[in-house]
């Protein structure tokens, strides 16, 4: 039931906005795609025996704010535990990349865009994962639990904590002709 509600919220978000930002507005597109997505692929450098130093990608639930056209802060928040293999990698090297794609929304399915089609926009963030302080944890909790209510019931003995993806670089692929570079300053200055 919660999954159905989240799917409906995502569809309402896309319907409320009407159309996605135009290709010439890459910073706005990056904010739009992140806010439209509930999860992303996080790539770390493995610290695991036999994989040490190799790329390792994993799926994580995320949120930059409650669903809706004006709820996004642009900050990707995550709910993590040290028991998770990618988090163990981050404890050795906090650098990571995060990819989010409109392929997880109704937009690309409705237009019959393959996830690899540039018109099915995806954003690649590079940066690091950092634990948030207590005051920011309140924002992170609201952002995450509003989109992922199941998280509230996850086992307390797993020592969950709130973290954010500290963005240093942004690449946007939303049209033909290659990647567009957006600075964090451009990204955060845009209103979604």
In a domain, residue 53? The reply is yes
**Cα(55)–Cα(42) distance, integer angstroms:** 10
Which pLDDT belongs to residue 158? 97
Which pLDDT belongs to residue 19? 83
Listed range (16-25, 51-60, 62-71, 135-144) with the worst mean pLDDT:
16-25
Which pLDDT belongs to residue 191? 81
In a domain, residue 6? The reply is no
How many Cα neighbours within 13 Å face the side chain of 106? 13
In a domain, residue 68? The reply is yes
**Cα(36)–Cα(107) distance, integer angstroms:** 10
Q: 68-112: per-residue pLDDT in tens? A: 877 799 999 999 999 999 999 999 999 999 999 999 999 999 999
Which pLDDT belongs to residue 188? 97
How many separate domains does the chain show? 1
Mean pLDDT of 103-131: 97
Whole-structure pTM value: 0.88
Mean pLDDT of 132-151: 96
The CATH number given to whatever domain includes residue 182 is: 2.30.110.10
In a domain, residue 180? The reply is yes
């Amino acid at each position: 039931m919660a999954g159905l509600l989240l799917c409906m919220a995502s569809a309402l978000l896309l319907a409320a906005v009407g159309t996605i930002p135009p290709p010439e507005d890459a910073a706005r597109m990056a904010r739009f795609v992140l806010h439209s997505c509930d999860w992303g692929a996080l790539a770390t450098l493995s610290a695991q025996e036999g994989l040490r130093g190799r790329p390792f990608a994993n799926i994580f639930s995320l949120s930059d704010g409650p669903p809706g056209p004006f709820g996004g802060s642009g900050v990707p928040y995550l709910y993590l535990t040290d028991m998770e293999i990618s988090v163990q990698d981050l404890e050795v090297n906090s650098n990571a990349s995060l990819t989010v794609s409109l392929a997880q929304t109704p937009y690309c399915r409705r237009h019959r865009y393959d996830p690899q089609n540039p018109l099915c926009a995806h954003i690649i963030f590079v940066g690091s994962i950092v634990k948030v302080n207590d005051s920011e944890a309140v924002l992170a909790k609201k952002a995450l639990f509003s989109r992922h209510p199941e998280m509230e019931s996850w086992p307390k003995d797993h020592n969950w904590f709130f973290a954010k993806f500290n963005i240093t670089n942004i690449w946007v692929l939303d049209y033909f002709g290659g990647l567009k570079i957006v600075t964090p300053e451009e990204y955060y200055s845009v209103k979604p």
